[in-house]
Structure 1
Amino acid sequence: MTERTGTGRFPETLRRALIAFALAQFICSFAGSNMNVMISDISRDLDTTVQGVQLAITLFLLVMAALMIPGGKLTDLFGRKWCLILGLLLFGSGAMLSAFAPGLGVLILGYSVLEGVGTALLIPPVYILTTLLFSDIGSRARAFGAISAMGGIGAVAGPLIGGFIAYAVSWRAAFILQAAIVLAIVLLSRRAVTDPLPADRSVPFDVLGAVLSATGLILIVMGILAAADEPLATLGLVTAGALVLVWFFASVRAKERAGREPLLSTALFRNRASNLGLITQNMQWLMVMGCSFVVSTYLQVVRGYNAIETGGVFTATTVGVLISSLFAGRLAKRRPQRTLIIAGFLVTVAGIVLLLALGGTSARIWAMVPGLFVIGLGLGGMLTPSVNVVQGSFPEHLQGEISGLSRSVSNLGSSLGAALTGTILVAGVDGSAPGRAYLLAMTAVAGAGLIGVTAAWFLPVDRHPGGSRSS
């Protein structure tokens, strides 16, 4: 059980570790969303095209999603704290390289590759160590609530912060800010973070599994991105990606039968609650990135608002995420995780309906605020219980694998959100009916919410973090 002080607060060391974890999740989410409002400035400064900068953003999301599973496995081999620090150093190095990039190629190397690989290394340890260090229901829920809140804030506040920095200083300053925050996390982690489990370097790393899993995910997302221009290419890429993933799972089973260590244990897919929880995580982050991408694109391209105005509107979502996340720990003690996840999806879908009803009929930018605020409330309320369901479904020795799988599924959701909504918008925003494209894109996001509700409905009613039963 997690020890508390006499005031009910976490001990100072745990508080510092939690701050480090929350800041790490914040900066990774921020890096994934703040570029959306700086595309024009970057393309002009680096003498490239908007499509080139969009490619860098897409590659960043893909590298994160594709390498998160191998990253989770490496935590068992080299230790969770070691991977956390290494991931932070790679991320910070990529940020500094991007800040001084003379061209698109260096930006892709720094942002898409180094920051993407760094994220894949540092995020699994954040969730593994949180699960191990905060062992009781209430404490773990509070910790995950803080981390999820900072992740949600980073994702939805990225456009505002990035737009302000780009407007007031330069887009390069946004990368310097990332490096500075990462340096602070490294210094804090070295002192405050401890690893309860020893590393086991005797276990061989499944290189073939890592290559197959990454290749399959990349092909599927790239296929969706190609849908607007090359429908046949989409079918081919998605089919190829699915076949590669089938090959991956076949190789996993073959290794287990031969008594060798695979990249992922098939035991991770035998838990009904975890499988359903992974679906909810994927849909949640699809909605986070989908809403952010669609609304920011619509406001800038269709309505003609600048980065500051666009980012300012997203403050409503940030406030909503923060408010609901702050109550995550308290709600986790009183309500089953299933109930919280279902309610979160329903509130988020209701927010999308409100956004379309008010924002679509008014020329005033602030008409979108109520809907975005409700969306934030819904997202913040369900991010934590989904993490609790998945992480709490497995014992300590599987935390590395399930954390990598969980974060991979979540980041894949972000990639799919950007790819799916971008595909819908690309034909309509510049065409004769941009409003219709916006409506269709947001309807697709709402559809993801209904899929999430369906998955959450079949979760065990009595499921609580760590496998506890509700009272």
Structure 2
Amino acid sequence: MAPSVPRGVLAPLALAQFICSFAGSNMNVMINDISTDLGTTVQGVQVVITLFLLVMAALMIPGGKLADRYGRKRCLLAGLLVYGVGALASALAPGLGVLILGNSILEGIGTALLIPPVYILTTLLFTESVARAKAFGIVMAMGGVGAAAGPLIGGLITTTLSWRAAFLFQAIVVGLIAVLGRRIADPLPPDPESSFDVLGALLSACGLILVVAGIQLADNDIRLTIALIGVGALALAGFFVNIRAKERRDREPLIATRMFTDRTANLGLITQLLQWLLLIGTSFTVATYLQVIRGYNAVQTGVIFTAATAGLLVSSLAAARFARKRSQRTLIRVGFFASVLGLGALAVSAGRSQNPWALTPGLLVLGLGIGLMLTPSVTVVQSSFGEDDQGEISGLSRSASNLGSALGTALAGTILVGALTTHAYATATLALAGIGLAGFVVASLLPSRAVTDNHPT
């Protein structure tokens, strides 16, 4: 750590990543409670969860640009404020519409404002390579644990108090982060003269939202699905045309095209997307299976999912030690391989045992695999660019992760909601296992000796 960095600055940054990841998975165990209380359906709750993750993904790149323009700490605090208001609105929601406004929209926007500063500040504050690697490991581990522990913590709060109390918990944690964050000093001044690509932000957001919405509606109307994905693809194509045109005119685009020209970084981004797709997709699949098909309550569902939390925590904490002896590529490949084994075990256990604890071996192996590769993938991406590009690559990196989370929920929900049966559960887990195999192939294309620092040499 740089000598001028006050002690304790990492705690609010890591806690911010924890609560945002927690918010992405804790609602999975509240499906029955929210559906009953608000008079909606499983698909209605799925829309809330997917939209929250999608808003984060769509706005993460603009969030990184705003952090550079207005200041990292200022955007962090603004994000905490918006997130806190959204959490309180969700806790008081009288219906599905207000829950979407509070959780999906306001919490999603708040997260997109505060997460890019977390990664930019970590890069700028921790200048020594070993300290930076350790700091990134802690932040990523807290993110993974937040996602994996979301079902357990959310289940305990929901069963003991109510699902609304889980949102009050988020508001309290956000307030704590704001208090702890007072020690953080922005290492670089803001750049208010920098331009903001409004058209690029709109095109990228619309493109991502339409593509994921198309996937989510696949079980209802295949023609609508094709139309939405087609229009979304056109919007994303327009986004890339727009940024190239701006660069040719020497104007600043939403994100520079050079962010997409580094082969190693591109492969790393794909592995990030697929990792979070597996983690959040499995969380939604298992939670829906246990609650809707097996009839378990929130805390029972959360306790069963603790096996994944334990595996993720153990392997993510050990990943830094493994990285001293093994390449990033090796860790990511082993992580995907273990994840596929875990998902295979979950698929085999479907219908073969009435004991819900039969799911724990598969969840444990899945958690071990995911935890092993979370930090190496981020390291590969962040290390491909210098400090001047950390704002842009941090936004792109988190956008890929949150897009993966949204796709995971949309894909799993599309398979499950169409037919809430044990067969559908097995189909969903096998589909996720196939995606895990694709991740293994992508990881195999990474350089055999990836960098271990969070900054290129």
Above 0.5 in TM-score?
yes
Q: 254, 257, 263: which is aligned to 2:254?
A: 263
Structure 2: state its 5+ residue gaps. none
SS class of match (2:252): coil
Q: 285, 292, 312: which is aligned to 2:276?
A: 285
User: How much is the aligned-residue C-alpha RMSD, in angstroms?
Assistant: 1.7
Deviation at 1:315, TM superposition (A): 0.7
Q: Which residue is 2:450 aligned to? A: 463
Deviation at 1:200, TM superposition (A): 0.7
- 8 Å CA contact 2:29, 2:154 repeated in 1: yes
Whether 1:17 and 2:12 are equivalent positions in the alignment is no
Q: Which residue is 1:437 aligned to? A: 424
Whether 1:188 and 2:180 are equivalent positions in the alignment is yes
Q: Which residue is 2:94 aligned to? A: 102
Question: Structure 2 matches for 1:308-387, cutoff 5 A?
Answer: 308-358=299-349, 360-387=351-378
Output one character per residue of 1:375-403: Cα deviation in whole Å (capped at 9) or x when no partner: 11110010000001111111111111111
Output one character per residue of 1:383-440: Cα deviation in whole Å (capped at 9) or x when no partner: 00000111111111111111111111110000100111111112231xxxx2221121
Question: Structure 2 matches for 1:15-414, cutoff 5 A?
Answer: 16-191=8-183, 193-358=184-349, 360-414=351-405
- 8 Å CA contact 2:71, 2:190 repeated in 1: yes
Aligned equivalents of 2:164, 2:426: Cα separation in 1: 34
Deviation at 1:282, TM superposition (A): 0.5
Q: Percent identity?
A: 61
- 8 Å CA contact 1:283, 1:413 repeated in 2: yes
SS class of match (1:334): coil
Decide which moves more: 145-154 or 350-359.
350-359
Aligned equivalents of 2:192, 2:437: Cα separation in 1: 43
Aligned equivalents of 1:63, 1:3: Cα separation in 2: 34
TM (norm. structure 2) is 0.96
Deviation at 1:58, TM superposition (A): 2.3
Output one character per residue of 1:308-334: Cα deviation in whole Å (capped at 9) or x when no partner: 111101111111111011112222222
Aligned equivalents of 2:394, 2:81: Cα separation in 1: 20
Aligned equivalents of 1:94, 1:275: Cα separation in 2: 33
Which residue identity lines up with residue 335 of structure 1 in the other structure?
R
Aligned equivalents of 1:447, 1:19: Cα separation in 2: 37
Deviation at 1:359, TM superposition (A): 5.5
Deviation at 1:50, TM superposition (A): 4.2
- 8 Å CA contact 1:124, 1:403 repeated in 2: yes
Decide which moves more: 369-378 or 136-145.
136-145
Q: 1:305 to 1:44 in 2, by over 3 A?
A: closer
Decide which moves more: 92-101 or 398-407.
92-101
- 8 Å CA contact 2:159, 2:297 repeated in 1: no
Which residue identity lines up with residue 437 of structure 1 in the other structure?
A
Aligned equivalents of 1:360, 1:395: Cα separation in 2: 51
Which residue identity lines up with residue 454 of structure 2 in the other structure?
G
Q: Which residue is 1:8 aligned to? A: none
Output one character per residue of 1:423-468: Cα deviation in whole Å (capped at 9) or x when no partner: 1112231xxxx22211211111111111111111111122213356
Output one character per residue of 1:348-370: Cα deviation in whole Å (capped at 9) or x when no partner: 11112233334552221111111
TM (norm. structure 1) is 0.93
